[in-house]
Structure 1
Amino acid sequence: MDFRIELIPLAVTDVERAKDFYGTTLGWSVDHDQVVTPELRFVQVTPPGSACSICFGVGLDMMPTGSSQFIQVVVDDADAALADLRERGVECEGVEDLAWGRFVYFADPDGNRWALQQIVRPAA
């Protein structure tokens, strides 16, 4: 049996700001933006190349108010990821080199944190 992670919820305080950050600033695909009622809105966004999406909105009750996520994703090139984020105006530190990978970190406007990891294979 396969278990595929397909959706990770994020808590956000301003849905339009979050949608703009992920969709416009980061350039991720906004797959859904459905307003069912004034009390229920669902937004789903997917990073390029990912089989897993994130969601946020109003009335979803998936995350406690004020909570935040830490999500780690794999990229082919940490330096290229850092350059892309900086070109898009996203605040981030330089690449952190560790024995188990090269990392770039950033956060969305609500404090949800992201780690972009370039996997490093030890020399044989």
Structure 2
Amino acid sequence: MKFEIAVLPVSDVDRAKDFYEKLGWRLDADFETAADFRVIQLTPPGSAASVIFGTGVSDAVPGSMRGLHLVVDDVVAARAELVDRGITVSEVFHDEGGVFHRAGTAGRVDGPDPERRSYASYASFEDPDGNGWVLQEITTRLPGR
């Protein structure tokens, strides 16, 4: 099995489309088959998985997705690129426990992981509805990954 799609709940489809295109994501589809059904699919650069949002594709509360992760080779550079694109992104952080970041902002320590260990440095941002994304730096994958 391979993970393919995350469905994002959004309140304004065109605003969301503009935001994700501003991130530099590829527009794969924009189909409207009825006034109450529109599907938009975008894919982050280098990713095999995509996001879908639109009209009539989710009954979740707009902005209710949290903890969606984007893997990057260099979290500092990836953050800078998003900021250059006009996106509001948190400062780079690591978790005080060093295993995985906590929900919200609890346990955040400023700066990348001091040892720059894989899986341990992050930055976060939200789309216009508040769906939460995390940039996670991975330079060496765990065995079997």
Give the structure-2-normalised TM-score: 0.76
Give ranges in structure 2 of 5+ residues lacking alignment. 99-118, 141-145
CA contact (8 A) 2:41 2:53 kept: yes
Structure number with the higher strand fraction is 1
Picking from 44, 48, 52, the partner of 2:41 is 44
Deviations 1:64-85 (A, max 9, x none): 2345212012100001111101
Listed as ranges, the gaps of 5+ residues in structure 1 are none
| Whole-angstrom CA distance in 2 between matches of 1:115 and 1:5 | 17
Residue 101 (structure 1) aligned to one of 100, 120, 123: 120
- Of 28, 31, 35, which aligns to 2:28? 31
Distance in 2 between residues matched to 1:51 and 1:91, nearest whole Å? 25
* Matches of 1:54 and 1:89, distance apart in 2: 21
Partner of 1:101: helix, strand, or coil?
coil
Residues 78, 4 of structure 1: alpha-carbon distance in 2 compared, 3 angstrom cutoff:
same
Q: Is the 8 A contact 1:102 1:120 kept in 2?
A: no
Q: CA deviation at 1:120?
A: 6.2
* TM-score between both structures, scaled by the size of structure 1: 0.88
- 2:3 pairs with one of 2, 5, 8: 5
| SS across alignment from 1:43 | strand
The CA RMSD over aligned residues, in Å, is: 1.5
Per-residue displacement from partner, 1:18-76 (whole Å, max 9, x unpaired)?
Answer: 000001x101001000010111100000000001000000011x342345212012100
Identity level (%) = 43
> Where do 4+ consecutive residues of structure 1 move more than 6 Å?
none
Structure 2 residue matching 1:22: 3-state secondary structure: helix
User: Aligned pairs, how many?
Assistant: 117
Once residues 57 and 49 of structure 1 are traced to their aligned partners in structure 2, the CA distance between those partners, rounded to angstroms, is 23
